[in-house]
Amino acid sequence: MNNRLYGNLIFELSHTGRRGYSLPRNEYKHNTSELASGLRRESDVELPECDELTVVRHYTNLSHNNFGVNDGFYPLGSCTMKYNPIINEEIAAMPAFAAAHPLQPVKYSQGMLRIYYELQKSLSELAGLSEFTLNPCAGAHGELTGLMVIRSYHESRGDTARTKVLIPDSAHGTNPASAAVCGLEVVEVKSLSDGTVDVDHLRQLLDSIGSEVAAMMMTNPNTLGIFEPRVLDITSMVHEAGGLMYYDGANLNPLLGACRPGDMGFDVMHINLHKTFSTPHGGGGPGSGPVGVRKGLEQFLPMPKVVKATSNNETELVIEWEQGCGTSIGTFFGNFGVIIKAYTYILSLGKENIKYVGPLATLNATYIKEKLKDVYELPINGLSKHEFVFDGLKDKSTGVTTMDVAKRLLDYGYHAPTIYFPLLFHESLMIEPTESESLETIDGFISVMRKIAEEALADPDMVKTAPHTTPIGRVDDVLAAKQAVLTYK
């Protein structure tokens, strides 16, 4: 940052009485406030007072301190930070979409309802399931919705003993969190040393608590990027015990064009539109986590749903608002902007090209893995799909950790991969390039990762004190979390 003036807090740039613009004086005499005096503030709010140009520069400069997919390579495993094509934004920003009101008459909403309807259908087709709701607003929100669908299904059969959810120890943290929020008890299923589900352990669990199992939550390829070879055994074992199979489809990339959760025996799933179908995400949103179900579970999905209705020989799209698994879980139609972007993404790839998404995501990840595995520790040397995990540098003698490698990457203009997750290894470094990166970008990343491995040997202290080029160096994460300072004094 060459201009420190704009690196400060906006409060520090404040000068009493300074204004961005001035409003004409109120010539009307009715200056009375409608708020009762007891409800009014006794003193003014302490807001920063700045001229407009200072505000614009302040926020523009702050935004340059951020790193996004549009700045550079962002190989964050389990997050699918793929390129968001510009056409997605242009279409979502069209006034007819951006300014639409959720309560505007159906007659004037046919175009939007068609997008909704066709995305419901496309996702069902891609997932091999019967029906999707587009209502939930994030992946975790979808998980909660899906678990509510599962609970409603069991309750509808009068089976109230099913209060447990089986979750592999490699699962994404939102899985157990969503189960707990849904009032269900989490039971962990162990992984084998190759990272796949320990089917013998699953068998033992089902033998002892099978009649209490509401569902098993899984993702496949799993969090280590490995396709579960015994997925069909797993789904049929859980079904035999009376439970349902939930598929965490946050990162559906590797499957697109290759196989479908419905065909593997999953009953309920969510998809993160904001990962699999582009849309920039991070910092809390915006997201969309549609939930799909197999045939026979449709009535448990939350509303709204867009359906075709024919009267007087005319077909029209209408909205059904009746309740499914309890209540509509998001407001109105969910995050409609994200829905439009996903729809645009699917249409612009088309049926001919969408089938390359999975294979290319897998090829890119595998290429990186093979080019780096002589200098980074590969704990599981099996076939992997769209992402994989290293366990830090191969040469551990230098004391250079995964954290150090991640920080040093920033100096070279790359966002770090996911670090210290999954928890199965001490120095996890989880890399997911996505299908949208070019060979040159990927080769650039590989050469920087190799360079850092060399630096770790030649000058470990330099790597341990990285980053050296960013506006701030290392923050004390623990202190920041334990003693969060959230207000300006």
In the set 172, 260, 369, 386, which binds ligand PLP (CB under 6 A)? 172
d(CA 50, CA 21): 10
Assess contact for 286 and 338: CB atoms under 8 A: yes
Q: Is 140 in the site for ligand PLP (CB under 6 A)?
A: yes
In the set 145, 220, 251, 276, which binds ligand PLP (CB under 6 A)? 251
Please report how close the Cβ of residue 141 comes to ligand PLP at its closest, in angstroms: 6
Residue 127: its H or E element:
helix 110-127
The CA-based angle 75-77-80, given to 5 degrees, is 75
Nearest Cα to 150, choosing from 237, 245, 27, 230? 245
Task: Find all residues with CB under 8 Å of 19, minimum gap 6, and list them.
Answer: 49, 51
Assess contact for 256 and 354: CB atoms under 8 A: yes
Q: Is 250 in the site for ligand PLP (CB under 6 A)?
A: yes
Q: Which long-range contacts (CB under 8 A, 24 or more apart) does 167-172 make?
A: 167/216, 167/217, 168/197, 168/218, 168/222, 169/423, 169/424, 170/195, 170/222, 170/223, 170/224, 170/422, 170/424, 171/217, 171/218, 171/219, 171/223, 171/248, 172/78, 172/219, 172/223, 172/248, 172/250
- Comparing CB distances to ligand PLP, the nearer of 168 and 210 is 168
Q: Is 179 in the site for ligand PLP (CB under 6 A)?
A: no
Please report how close the Cβ of residue 461 comes to ligand PLP at its closest, in angstroms: 35
Q: Is 428 in the site for ligand PLP (CB under 6 A)?
A: no
Task: Find all residues with CB under 8 Å of 283, minimum gap 6, and list them.
Answer: none
- Comparing CB distances to ligand PLP, the nearer of 247 and 333 is 247
d(CA 285, CA 262): 28
Q: Is 364 in the site for ligand PLP (CB under 6 A)?
A: no
- Comparing CB distances to ligand PLP, the nearer of 79 and 329 is 79
Please report how close the Cβ of residue 143 comes to ligand PLP at its closest, in angstroms: 7
Total interface residues for ligand PLP by CB under 6 A? 14
Q: Which residue's Cβ has the minimum distance to ligand PLP?
A: 139
Please report how close the Cβ of residue 20 comes to ligand PLP at its closest, in angstroms: 36
Please report how close the Cβ of residue 98 comes to ligand PLP at its closest, in angstroms: 22
In angstroms, the Cα distances linking 11 to 54, 58, 483, 489 are 11, 11, 21, 10
Q: Is 272 in the site for ligand PLP (CB under 6 A)?
A: yes
Residues 281 to 320: which contact ligand PLP by CB under 6 A?
Answer: 287, 289
- Comparing CB distances to ligand PLP, the nearer of 183 and 285 is 285
- Comparing CB distances to ligand PLP, the nearer of 172 and 294 is 172
Q: Is 151 in the site for ligand PLP (CB under 6 A)?
A: no
Residues making up the chain, counted from first to last = 489
- Comparing CB distances to ligand PLP, the nearer of 196 and 272 is 272
- Judged by CB under 6 A, the stretch of 19-27, 107-115, 135-143, 188-196 that binds ligand PLP is 135-143
Residues 204 to 243: which contact ligand PLP by CB under 6 A?
Answer: 219
Q: Is 418 in the site for ligand PLP (CB under 6 A)?
A: no
d(CA 21, CA 335): 34
First to last CA, the chain: 25
- Comparing CB distances to ligand PLP, the nearer of 287 and 358 is 287
Instruction: Point out which residues bind ligand PLP (CB under 6 A).
Output: 78-79, 138-140, 172, 174, 219, 248, 250-251, 272, 287, 289
